[in-house]
Structure 1
Amino acid sequence: MTAGLFKVDYLDGEVLKWHATSDGVETVSNTDFTPTIYAIPDGDHSFEELADRLDPHPLAMDMQLEPWRRGWRHDPEPVLRIDVPDIDAVDELASHLRDIGRPGDVKCFNVDFSREFRYCLETGQTPDPARDLRTLGLTAPATAMVDDVLSKLSVDGERVSGSPEAVVERVDRALGRIDPDVLILSSSELVPALYDAADVVGRDDFDLGRRSGWQTLAGASTFESYGQVGHSPARYNVPGRAIIDRSNTFFYDQSGLQGILDLSRRSGKPLQELAWASIGNVLTAIQITESRELDVLTPWKSWRHEFFKSMRTLHEADRGGYTFAPDVGVHEDVHELDFSSLYPNIIVTRNISPETICCDCHDSEDVPGLGYSICDERGYLADVLEPLISDRDAIKAEIRETDDEGRKQALQQKSDAIKWILVSCFGYQGFSNAKFGRIECHEAINAYAREILLNAKQTLEANGWRVVHGIVDSLWVQANDGMAQTALEAVAREIFADAGIRLEYEGGFDWVAFVPMADSKAGALTKYFGRKHDGEYKFRGIEVRQHSTPPYVADCQRELIEVYDSTRTPEAVCDRLDRQLQRLRSGEVNPMDLVIEVRSSKRLEEYTQSTRSVAALERAEAAGIGREPGQPVEYVVVDESKSGRERVQLPHEGIEEYDAAFYATEVIRAAESVLSPSGWREETIREYLADRVEPTIGAF
């Protein structure tokens, strides 16, 4: 078996495997691969009857009984293995099986796997390139898809210009010179756009891949997840090269290429599929890989029902993580303590897994407050997560020890990628479509987390520390002036001994400000900012961390925090704010620094009110770049007094003016976030600004 696999292509009845070896690229063809699904008849059907009904079906190539486990706590039992001729036949035959008899009479397994992942899983291969992969970046603005992609294309950051023939030639030369393994595209729509451009200029020999042609793997679609509308762009494929679509990749943005490659090896999903996959998709792949090694099949549809619960238990279970109301205000000499990977460590140390929770073999009341039992037999979820936890700890230790910046960056990308899997493993247990999830796991993890956080608070307070805020897995403490303090390192060791999960010192703050809610004096749970002992500022939840905040407003807020840090007076902050507003009102700000980005939640025709976002969508539609639900739309407010699409302009429209009054309000609201912990709300800020006559030194 050739090592270094990084890409799998299905082309004209054969599977092509691409291996990045130390000598270059090696291609291996497999013309005999037949995907496999499994079926178990329930109800009145027997295996013989099911096989008889499938025998004449042209897609059921071969059938035989094999011993498999339908679940983690099931013993091996006969299962009908069905080989199909090609990857496209999987869904068709599975749908046919589902329609046999009454709903649920036939249960199907190992159905909805992605293409490359299926091949690696069924042939026992791990995607793991044996050398660094070569990359080529192709970038064009969204308007290029409507106007002329050739006039606005950048190749590895260098703007391409000239005739269409020259531009196509420039891309072709870059492909030949670099011979990339990975194409990093600003949008996957560049694939058909470049092929169309090559056709127009008569370049029949142009190819983005290592073989001729390209494929459409999936069309664009809109989806809803956890109440948020998202958009999945069309996905394309070129032979021999993996595509990373920057408009449709979470892991590349969050963890870079090395993070993707590390998760690819762990999950069995080759690079291209992992780049567009969600966190839950990757976690499921890791679980499926684990289940395959233990002869456990993967259900097509999750059918784990929720256990019966009393109303009292439901009330206790549906509480989420524990939070302490933050003490609004500015606090000096604060220390932040975080439990290391709290939820995944709860899963591992408490052995929480779908097959261990509320098991039939125990009648104990293990989960605090809920009374659920947990089996002593090791659960599969602990086996899945423990290597991730220990490997990330080892990676973080290596980061601290190495002085090689390149090595440190690669390690950090791997650590970040694993972090996102660990962060999401808890919530995914409560996801209705999770292959191996169970809502009771989700509830039990929360119950343990609440108990651990409350016990930690009590231990800290008993040792002379006051908790000023706490949320889920983090605590902010400062010395209680009325008591002697035990060193935090010693307190953390005591909490570790009690909880079995490390409480780590995240960092100390010279000061930290907890922000009140907009319409209340109560503290906002996730809004704070402050300066750490090393001089770095930390922001959470305020405008500077919000994606929709224009760059100028974010820069203003950072500057106001710095002024507050150096002066500690609201008046000095307002003096600087006044200077920022003067610059804004005089027209000195670049309109591109005032761009607002939002995501549409509906189609344009479904909106009933004329908002700024609707105005931007109308302009985008008129420009031929209509946005689908879930896609971002950017705009600059040019005249808030108008009601139609004239109130905004899009970034590519050559904006010369902006609505200074609108953006002044946005800057003042950002200033309120800075000053509200000191008791200054928007009304007080405006009153102070209105009373000013001469600018003070603090304004500059």
Structure 2
Amino acid sequence: MEIIVNATGSDYINLWYLSGNKITKRQIKNHSWIFVSGNYYDMSMLERSLDFSNLVYEHTKMRDIYGYLDGIKIFMRPSQINYIAKKIENSFGYKIKIYNADINPVLRFMALNRLSFFKIRSLYDYDPDIKTAEIYAFIKNNDVSYITINGKKYEKNIYEELYNAIDDGLIIIYNNYYGEFSILLNNMFKHGYAIEYKTHRARSFESYGRHSYMPKTISINNKICIDSNSFIFQESGITGIVELSRLSLLPPETVSVVTPGTVVSSIEEKEALQRKILIPFRKTDYEKPKTPGEFFEADSGGIVFTPDPGIYKNVYEIDFSSMYPSIMVNYNLSPENLSSAGMGHLAMFLRRLLETRLFYKGIRERSDIYMKRDMALKSLLLNSFGYTGYKNAKFGRIDVHEKITSIGRSIIMNSIRIAEKNGFNFIHGVVDSMWIYGDGDIQKTINEIYERTRIPIVIDSHYKWIAFLPKNNGIGSANSYIGYKYDGTFKVRGIEMRRKNIPEFIKKFQENALNEIKCDFEQISFRREKIDKIKRYYLNKISSFKVDDFKIKFTISRHINEYKVRNGTYYLMKYLDGHINIYPGMSVDGIIIDKRHGIIRPDAENIDRDYYKRMLIRSFKPIDFILLNSGK
């Protein structure tokens, strides 16, 4: 069976068909149009302008999510759309509305022709077996020391092996965070092995208050290139890229370089195109006016409790599966029907995505493929909620966002009452999860909550004991806990071993300490001596660990000339300046040599022993809290 695995182009779409191990390409001419709506005077002016152009147009009625609109449908090549839409916008401003003007041309072609990437007959089906080369270069002093191809190390005949791997594979996975793959390809060319490729610029961007960095990406002619730094690839591998390409109709290479929010938007656009619903070019209805009182009442967000610090036994953590997307779908929420009971287009667009995710969540333990598909879809659904509050989201509106969180708060409060009625005690709750303990019937409780809320709910974890940790001021922390489950594993949040900016030897200490208290609550106090022995070992051996164990990840938040305070990050960037290009959003490894004087280096023979010792002693606190409370 032939399946489409990629597509490129604009005015002409090149479809890549895979049959067996062979790729064939078919080129098809692509036609497109935009729709413009406005008052009679503006439409008459636009019509006169079009009469002096070579563009074909027609008067017609089309519908957006709010209903049917009179307007002009203008036919053109896809490559003309951006220029003409902006020209119309510049002439008429926001007096007119433009639709279907900034849709990915491949997505639009695939949707309107009812085509699909990586088509499967059933959700149980596996993806096709595609030849893949996962290539990583290890660079020292701007020279290639060695490479790995699909896990195998090559120190000799590097460029011949590299050329053969690229030539043989269809999907090329690479890392170019510091320009490694660019150096590798450039050196390969110098050694007489030529391939056609393009390098796309690096970029930094800010999202939800966090800086992110997208390194230079590579496109190789006739290959599908996936950057291993892609968020989606890191979360769910090539399986996740394929799954999201199948759902969004974006080419897999595009999926790997865009944000999850863009994938969500693309899925909504696909659904709109196939249902013949117009997609706005610019949003003008992202929020309706509110009084201050209405604003404060609406903008309350998700509900977060503060647990009492302590250790609790026989605890259930119950979790609403994709709570906010489930609310959107099950409560039929969409910008056009917040005050009516009509069909919600946004809910309709997301229904298939939600149903697919819940399906894979139910069977994720059967296969690594299903697990990775579930992880990719979970990430999308998390973004689908946030996207409703983004002012430029095609089908979002802040009022929908606020309605979702309002229903979510009500669901949590109702669920607490149901749990307490059934003999449980409430400990803690965070947005879409809650922790309860007691001798009640858990299955009966879950069934009642589902009947009341219509939101799927599962037992995320069943703990023999769980410690909710305090903040420095003694108040309980909403997101810091250590739980020992009945299946013999730990679930931890908010402590050092979960943080990216903590050196490896401290994470190893906490892992070793937790292994010693992998027992029933009543046995914990008898493990104190073993824990003390582990502490002494790490304190005494702090100078003898490997250098890499002391590396700390520093996240760059701005360009070096924008730092007002010359802290450790500034001095590390200053040292690296000239060696590698540093952009906001990047993470850079550093070793603290002298904390007081801000001396940090990417590699070092000496460390600031006192600084690392203080950091290690701070990491004792969560373990000490458990030992202290186990003696009660």
Question: What is the percentage of aligned positions where both structures have the same residue?
Answer: 24
Q: 1:232 aligns with which of 214, 232, 238?
A: 214
Residue in 2 aligned with 1:45?
42
Confirm or deny: 8 A CA contact 1:110 1:299 kept in the other structure.
Answer: yes
Confirm or deny: 8 A CA contact 2:57 2:72 kept in the other structure.
Answer: no
Q: How does 1:211-230 map to 2 (within 5 A)?
A: 213-216=196-199, 218-230=200-212
Confirm or deny: 8 A CA contact 1:21 1:129 kept in the other structure.
Answer: no
Instruction: Tell me if 1:160 matches 2:154.
Output: yes
Confirm or deny: 8 A CA contact 1:18 1:240 kept in the other structure.
Answer: no
Q: 1:99 aligns with which of 70, 90, 94?
A: 90
Unaligned runs of 5+ in 2: 121-127
Distance 1:302 1:3, change over 3 A: farther
Confirm or deny: 8 A CA contact 2:13 2:106 kept in the other structure.
Answer: no
Instruction: Write out per-residue CA displacement over residues 48-69 of structure 1, whole angstroms, 9 at most, x where no aligned residue.
Output: 5314324556xx6544445422
Residue in 1 aligned with 2:322?
341
Residue in 1 aligned with 2:538?
580
Q: 1:256 aligns with which of 237, 249, 252?
A: 237
Q: CA RMSD in A?
A: 2.5
Residue 104 of structure 1 aligns to a residue in which SS? helix
Residue in 2 aligned with 1:307?
288
What is the rounded CA distance, in whole Å, between the counterparts of 2:8 and 2:458 in structure 1? 45
Confirm or deny: 8 A CA contact 1:515 1:676 kept in the other structure.
Answer: yes
Residue 5 of structure 1 aligns to a residue in which SS? strand
What is the rounded CA distance, in whole Å, between the counterparts of 1:431 and 1:555 in structure 2? 40
Unaligned runs of 5+ in 1: 208-212, 359-374, 403-407, 480-484, 681-700
Counterpart of 1:147 in structure 2: which amino acid? N
Residue in 1 aligned with 2:115?
125
What is the rounded CA distance, in whole Å, between the counterparts of 1:40 and 1:181 in structure 2? 44
Deviation, 1:285, is 0.7
Counterpart of 2:586 in structure 1: which amino acid? Q
Deviation, 1:622, is 3.5
Instruction: Write out per-residue CA displacement over residues 252-301 of structure 1, whole angstroms, 9 at most, x where no aligned residue.
Output: 11112222212211111121111122111111111101111221121122
Deviation, 1:455, is 1.1
Residue in 2 aligned with 1:183?
172
Counterpart of 1:582 in structure 2: which amino acid? N
Q: 2:556 aligns with which of 600, 618, 624?
A: 600
Deviation, 1:377, is 1.8
Q: 2:575 aligns with which of 595, 603, 619?
A: 619
Q: 1:666 aligns with which of 611, 615, 629?
A: 615
Q: How does 1:69-468 map to 2 (within 5 A)?
A: 69=63, 71-75=64-68, 77-84=70-77, 87=79, 89-101=80-92, 103-114=93-104, 116-128=106-118, 131-141=128-138, 147-148=142-143, 150-162=144-156, 166-176=157-167, 179-187=168-176, 189=179, 192-203=182-193, 206-207=194-195, 213-216=196-199, 218-247=200-229, 249-358=230-339, 375-400=340-365, 402=366, 408-468=367-427
TM-score in terms of structure 1 length: 0.83
Confirm or deny: 8 A CA contact 1:42 1:107 kept in the other structure.
Answer: no
Counterpart of 1:125 in structure 2: which amino acid? L
Instruction: Write out per-residue CA displacement over residues 150-177 of structure 1, whole angstroms, 9 at most, x where no aligned residue.
Output: 4343322333334xxx43222112234x
Residue 44 of structure 1 aligns to a residue in which SS? helix
What is the rounded CA distance, in whole Å, between the counterparts of 1:132 and 1:37 in structure 2? 39
Instruction: Tell me if 1:33 matches 2:14.
Output: no
Residue in 1 aligned with 2:15?
17
Distance 1:54 1:604, change over 3 A: farther
Distance 1:438 1:263, change over 3 A: same
Residue 138 of structure 1 aligns to a residue in which SS? strand
Residue in 1 aligned with 2:547?
591
Q: 1:634 aligns with which of 589, 599, 602?
A: 589
Aligned length: 616
Counterpart of 1:669 in structure 2: which amino acid? R
What is the rounded CA distance, in whole Å, between the counterparts of 1:579 and 1:284 in structure 2? 52
Q: 1:561 aligns with which of 504, 507, 514?
A: 514
Instruction: Tell me if 1:506 matches 2:460.
Output: yes
Counterpart of 1:580 in structure 2: which amino acid? Y
What is the rounded CA distance, in whole Å, between the counterparts of 1:77 and 1:191 in structure 2? 52
Confirm or deny: 8 A CA contact 2:298 2:406 kept in the other structure.
Answer: yes
Query: Which is worse superposed, 92-101 or 488-497?
Result: 92-101
What is the rounded CA distance, in whole Å, between the counterparts of 2:202 and 2:381 in structure 1? 29
Deviation, 1:430, is 1.0
Deviation, 1:8, is 2.0
Higher strand share: 2
Distance 1:509 1:283, change over 3 A: same
Distance 1:113 1:640, change over 3 A: same
Confirm or deny: 8 A CA contact 2:112 2:273 kept in the other structure.
Answer: no
